Amino acid sequence: MRKIIELKGVSKAYDGQVVLDHINLDIYDNEFVTLLGPSGCGKTTTLRIIAGFEQPDEGQVFFMGEDIAALPPHKRNVNTVFQRYALFPHLNVYENIAFPLRVKKAHGDEIDTKVREMLRLVGLQGFEKRSVTSLSGGQQQRVAIARALVSQPKVLLLDEPLSALDAKLRKDMQAELHKIQRASGITFIFVTHDQEEALSMSDTVVVMSEGLIQQIGTPTDIYNEPQNAFVADFIGESNILNGIMLEDRKVKFHGHVFECVDSGFEKNEPVDVVVRPEDVDIVPEEKGMLRGVVTSVTFLGVHYEIIVDVQGFKWMIQTTDFCAVDSHIGLFIEPDAIQIMHKSKYSGMFGDYSSFSNEFDELSDAAAEVEEE
Amino acid sequence: MKTSSKIFTALILIFLFAPIVILLVFSFNASKSLSVMSGGSLYWYRELFRDAETLGAVRNTLVLAISAALISTVMGTAAAVGIHRLRSKAVRLGYEQVTNIPMTNPDIITGISLMLMFVFVGRLFGASTSLNFWTMLIAHITFCLPYVILQVLPKLQQMDNSLSEAAMDLGCTPMQAFFRVEIPEIMPGVVTGLIMAFTLSLDDFVISYFTSGNGFETLPIRIYNMTKKTVTPKMYALSTIIFFTILALLIMSNLIDTSAPGVEKPLRRERTASQKKRLRVAGAIGGVLAAGMIAVMIIGAPDHPVLNVYNWGEYISDGSEDSFNTIRGFEQWYKENYGSEVEVNYTTFASNEDMYSKISSGAVSYDVIIPSDYMIARMREEGMLLPLNFDNIPNYENIGENFRGLYYDPDDEYTVPYTYSFVGVIWDAERVDEEDTGDWDLMWNEKYKGDILQFNNSRDAFATAQYKLGLDVNDTDPESWRRALEELKRQQPLVKSYVMDEIYNMMESGEAAVASYYAGDYFTMLDAEADNVDLRFYVPERTNYFIDAMCIPSCCQQKELAEAFINYMLEEEPAIANAEYICYGCPNRVVYESEEYAEDMGEEAMEILYPNLDVFAENFNRFAYRNLDAATLSLVNSLWEELKIN
């Protein structure tokens, strides 16, 4: 695969506040890359640096091997779909899509062919004469994508394009975007704070936090083998415990030695141990590797989410078996369900569900979205 | 409830539009009168389009308004964009506030400060005249700018900032992004700003008044200066035209606003596009017109000498109502006699005091001025007049002996009299017995209680009482003024009202029967009197005489030319035309001894305007107003207030 964009040691600060801290990132041809992270992690800034709206304070940006740091946005073969679409209200659907071609003074027939092709691609045939302000959010979204794709850029940048849509429409558009990316063969760089969106659409996910890249990998890599507590927590639910790596494939936590599949750690190295809630099996108390008391049970349709107190640490477990509150149960964990991570600055910050509540989680999500705006 | 709200709405509409309707109706009146509607006619519209000076003022006003509006729109839009892009919020708010201040500033302060600045800068560069078209243009741009910014800035703030980023992202340079995306977005604000600037500039009086210079007269200033005589109905015609022009602009700007993005329905899309095209064409035409007009003003600047004449409004025969055009006449006459081109730049003033302050500001230069007697005395004492070289004014011999050696210029060094007049009593013979007439007692006659009009200005009102009592109108003894006040108080119950310009209407319609006013103006009333009114005029033995005379101020740049002009004004043709047009007495023998003139004026007018001229100089020197000292002036003012408060 051809490397299409390369960021080398890129840093950016606003008023002394570091937003990007020496980022290195390679993006390949025909890839669907997602920049994922909470608000303020630097993902949008990264996108704007690639688009050319921001200049990095330090570092270099290469586009197909060429340093483009000094190139203004209109000279870059990269187009953007903006969070709120940024359609031109004084132009109709057709003219919005034709805009980049008209700027380039393309021939009338060529414009017509390309615009109609784009309208077909995004499923908006018959909307040519409509005013963009009369369209629904999803339709505006499609116009924005068509407008960004019509001049056949090498890379399409999408800045949280689905965040203004309702949940149902968002799901449809996710599939649609994926389809369009496959059909057009253009590299998509997609920014979102929604981990589900990232996992379902991407070839590569770049998890960012505090101006740093935490992990780059395929969605399965990121989910199954998080490299630190932040990633483990941000992607899905995780129980993260302090452990000690006794030797290769042997880890001790909760005073119990478990078998695992990880190796390459130093002897007796303190580590973070990640166990996904769905990977814990519930067994009778006497058969369990660990024993605990159920403190809360929530029915979520597909499964129950229960919180189990094991020696003062609250585990989250997803199970299809019902357990009553206050019942004593045993936990069983397969070796390949255990993921071992080196200690990081995020150790101890996440992964204990002692203060967990669904309500609280939703509140903090909403707060994050507000901040993003 | 419903009917009452309907009635209320109707009342509001009447309140708002009644004046306009009356203006409109009277602009089609065949006669001069405001009280008598004598059939519909386009007479005043025809007159308007024949009045070269007024049309010149209209042209000036339009050139100024279009240029000021276009320039301030471009500058204001650029400024708004600049302010909008400032990164620091505090600095941005600061700029917005600072640009708003001029709007809350009273016009008078803006006008005075601009004038001061222009005069100061002009002096710095040693210019003899620092006020001209360009200073006025700068002044108009100055007061229009904040309004444009105020219209454009909110549109920028409403605009999604990512629009211009999107445009650049799609291949536009920052410039292209601005013109292709931002300008269309803020266009409604820009157009509203343009129209606002245009209308503001069009009707501005105060600021224009302070910053206007030689020969560049806008319409509001010209109309204001017409107060020496009454405003002619052609101004009603002009005002009607202006009203409908502005109305059309307003409707246009509303159409633009409702077709703004986000408001229109999808179906109207196509029409808006063509509307936009039309708008663009209109804008282009406007721009070309303004540029052309400015170019004409620059290129058309004459290479031959220009004579700046400063006179009362409506105080020269200017070709209107089929009269002889004295100004063009002079230009022709000069060419025939001296063989070279000359251009007269004719500007008007509304009062002696206005003229005095304009000239003493030092920002203008005029070659010929025509002030009144007392003002001439003052200017002569202050060294503001140049002695005339009478070798260049051979026609001075036409001036009657009785009009020489008057108090304001005892040795006839500085002035050539232009017109004279006096105050008399106008009475309606249908209602007033002839035996009661003849002296000032008629104004105090109980028989005509509620039919008497008195001057609404202190000096003239006091003078009627002083002449009646045989007092000196220039007395500095307070006791003498108090006696006059007592006489006025005695008259007060009989007086219908204290009036100036309203007198025309009230006398013409027969609303009042007795009034004292200026002789020349009596003829104007006579022309418009209603069928059941028979106005007559007599001059009491003791009354106010006044003279306006041509002089050359010390700021004059073309003295010989000025003297040639004065000489020409004494020639038979222009002098007779002028005397017939102004309807005042003329001190020129060639005029008052002319049979043709006497025939044109009619017997009655000749008798009134040219009574026993042998005693004119004596009467004038005895009874005419002179400058009062400051103490007496303030006494008169306070006594006048005492009377008016009653």
For B523-575, the three-class secondary structure string (H helix, E strand, C coil) is HHHHHHCCCCCCEEEECCCCCCEEEEEEECECCCCCHHHHHHHHHHHCCHHHH
Binned at pLDDT 50, 70 and 90, residue B452 comes out as: very high
* B351 touches A: beta carbon within 8 Å: no
For strands B306-312 and B368-369, give the pairing: parallel
Give the residue from chain A lying closest to B170, CA to CA: A100
Specify if B537 maps to a domain: yes
* A131 touches B: beta carbon within 8 Å: yes
Q: What distance lies between CA A331 and its chain's CA centroid? A: 31
Measured between CB atoms, which of B169, B184, B261 is closest to A51? B169
Domains, in order of start, for chain A: 3-224 (3.40.50.300), 229-372 (2.40.50.140)
Binned at pLDDT 50, 70 and 90, residue A371 comes out as: very low
- Give whole-number Cα distances, B323 to B223, B233, B254, B327, in Å: 20, 17, 44, 12
Token duo for residue B392: 């260049």
pLDDT value of residue A364: 47
**What is the spatial distance between Cα B243 and Cα B73, in angstroms, rounded to a whole number?**
23
Amino acid at A246: L
B267: pLDDT strictly greater than 60: no
Contact check, Cβ <8 Å, A90/B261: yes
Binned at pLDDT 50, 70 and 90, residue A359 comes out as: very low
Measured between CB atoms, which of B163, B187, B262 is closest to A86? B163
B264: pLDDT strictly greater than 50: no
Specify if B433 maps to a domain: yes
Token duo for residue A265: 């750690």
Which has more confidence, B203 or A6? A6
**What is the spatial distance between Cα B57 and Cα B63, in angstroms, rounded to a whole number?**
10
**What is the spatial distance between Cα B109 and Cα B206, in angstroms, rounded to a whole number?**
9
- B94 and B120, same structural domain? yes
- B345 and B453, same structural domain? no
* A161 touches B: beta carbon within 8 Å: no
Give the residue from chain A lying closest to B266, CA to CA: A131
**What is the spatial distance between Cα B636 and Cα B634, in angstroms, rounded to a whole number?**
5
Domain boundary among B277, B299, B321: B299
- B164 and B230, same structural domain? yes
* A299 touches B: beta carbon within 8 Å: no
Specify if B623 maps to a domain: no
Contact check, Cβ <8 Å, A133/B262: yes
Residue A259: its H or E element: strand A256-259
Neighbours of A227 (CB within 10 A): 19
* A86 touches B: beta carbon within 8 Å: yes
Min distance A158 CA to chain B CA atoms (Å): 12
Which has more confidence, B314 or B629? B629
* A82 touches B: beta carbon within 8 Å: yes
- B282 and B184, same structural domain? yes
pLDDT value of residue B274: 53
Contact check, Cβ <8 Å, A83/B160: no
3-state secondary structure (DSSP) of residue B435: helix
Task: Provide the Cα torsion B387, B391, B394, B396; round to 10°.
Answer: 20
Q: Which of A350-359, B147-156, B245-254 has the lowest mean pLDDT?
A: A350-359
**What is the spatial distance between Cα A118 and Cα A111, in angstroms, rounded to a whole number?**
11
Which has more confidence, A219 or B29? A219
Contact check, Cβ <8 Å, A90/B176: no
Picking from A128, A165, A153, the residue whose alpha carbon sits closest to that of residue A143 is: A128
Residue B202: its H or E element: helix B183-203
Give the ranges where B405-477 is alpha helix by DSSP (H): 458-469
Between chain A and chain B, the number of residue pairs with CB atoms below 8 A apart is 80
What are the pLDDT digits (tens) for B297-309?
A: 555 555 678 899 9
What residues in A contact B165, CB-CB < 8 Å?
53, 73, 80, 82, 86
| Mean of pLDDT values over A154-168 | 86
Q: Which of A331-340, B478-487, B522-531 has the lowest mean pLDDT?
A: B522-531
Specify if B441 maps to a domain: yes
Interface list for B 158-177 with A (CB within 8 A) = 160, 162-163, 165-174, 176-177
Contact check, Cβ <8 Å, A53/B269: no
What residues in B contact A73, CB-CB < 8 Å?
165, 168-169
Binned at pLDDT 50, 70 and 90, residue B278 comes out as: low
- HEC assignment per residue over B102-135: HHHCCHHHHHHHHHHHHHHHHHHCCCCCCCCHHH
* A276 touches B: beta carbon within 8 Å: no
* A74 touches B: beta carbon within 8 Å: yes
| Helices vs. strands in chain A: H and E counts, helices first | 9, 20
CB burial readout A240-254, b (16+ within 10 A) else e: bbebbbeeebebebb
What are the pLDDT digits (tens) for B318-377?
A: 877 778 889 889 999 999 998 888 988 888 888 888 888 888 877 788 999 999 998 999
What are the pLDDT digits (tens) for A65-117?
A: 889 878 899 889 899 999 888 999 989 999 999 999 998 888 889 999 999 99
* A357 touches B: beta carbon within 8 Å: no
Residue pointed to by tokens 């002696």: B352
B52: pLDDT strictly greater than 80: no
Contact check, Cβ <8 Å, B171/A86: no
Contact check, Cβ <8 Å, B171/A103: yes
- B525 and B566, same structural domain? no
What's the maximum distance between 2 C-alpha atoms anywhere in chain A? 79
Specify if B137 maps to a domain: yes
- B353 and B232, same structural domain? no
Q: Which of B24-38, B187-201, B287-301, B621-635 has the lowest mean pLDDT?
A: B287-301
**What is the spatial distance between Cα B259 and Cα B272, in angstroms, rounded to a whole number?**
6
**What is the spatial distance between Cα A199 and Cα A195, in angstroms, rounded to a whole number?**
6
Specify if B25 maps to a domain: no
Strand order in the sheet with A250-253: A256-259, A250-253, A239-247, A269-275, A338-342
Burial class (CB in 10 A: 0-12, 13-18, 19+), A147: buried
Asked if B640 and B458 touch (Cβ cutoff 8 Å), the reply is yes
Range of the domain at B522: 419-546+630-645
Mutate to test the interface with B, among A50, A90, A141 (most CBs of B within 10 A): A90
Contacts of A65 (CB under 8 A, 6+ apart): A3, A6
Whichever domain contains B349, its CATH number is: 3.40.190.10
- B480 and B400, same structural domain? no
Give the residue from chain A lying closest to B259, CA to CA: A90
Mean pLDDT of chain B: 86
Specify if B203 maps to a domain: yes
Domain count, chain B: 3
pLDDT value of residue B202: 87
What are the pLDDT digits (tens) for B143-190?
A: 999 999 999 999 998 888 889 889 999 988 988 889 989 999 898 889
Asked if B108 and B206 touch (Cβ cutoff 8 Å), the reply is yes
- B314 and B185, same structural domain? no
| Mean of pLDDT values over B432-454 | 93
How much helix, strand and coil, in percent to the nearest 5, is found in chain A?
30, 35, 35
Contact check, Cβ <8 Å, B185/A104: no
Contacts of B529 (CB under 8 A, 6+ apart): B33, B507, B508, B535
| Mean of pLDDT values over B222-249 | 80
| Mean of pLDDT values over A151-169 | 86
Mutate to test the interface with A, among B160, B162, B170 (most CBs of A within 10 A): B170
Give the residue from chain B lying closest to A81, CA to CA: B166
- B251 and B291, same structural domain? yes
* A151 touches B: beta carbon within 8 Å: yes
Min distance A128 CA to chain B CA atoms (Å): 11
pLDDT value of residue B450: 92
Whichever domain contains B216, its CATH number is: 1.10.3720.10
Terminal Cα-to-Cα distance of chain B (whole angstroms)? 43
| Mean of pLDDT values over A121-135 | 88
- B382 and B238, same structural domain? no
Contact check, Cβ <8 Å, A100/B166: no
Min distance B28 CA to chain A CA atoms (Å): 45
Quote the ipTM score: 0.80
Picking from A332, A250, A319, A326, the residue whose alpha carbon sits closest to that of residue A290 is: A332
3-state secondary structure (DSSP) of residue A328: strand
What are the pLDDT digits (tens) for B581-598?
A: 888 899 999 999 999 999
A355: pLDDT strictly greater than 70: no
| Mean of pLDDT values over A241-268 | 87
Contact check, Cβ <8 Å, A90/B172: no
* A154 touches B: beta carbon within 8 Å: no
Specify if B108 maps to a domain: yes
Contact check, Cβ <8 Å, B181/A88: yes
The percent of residues in chain A predicted with pLDDT above 90, rounded, is 28
DSSP A165: S
Min distance B23 CA to chain A CA atoms (Å): 42
- B466 and B324, same structural domain? no
- B84 and B119, same structural domain? yes
Q: pTM for this one?
A: 0.69
What residues in B contact A80, CB-CB < 8 Å?
165-166, 169
A64: pLDDT strictly greater than 50: yes
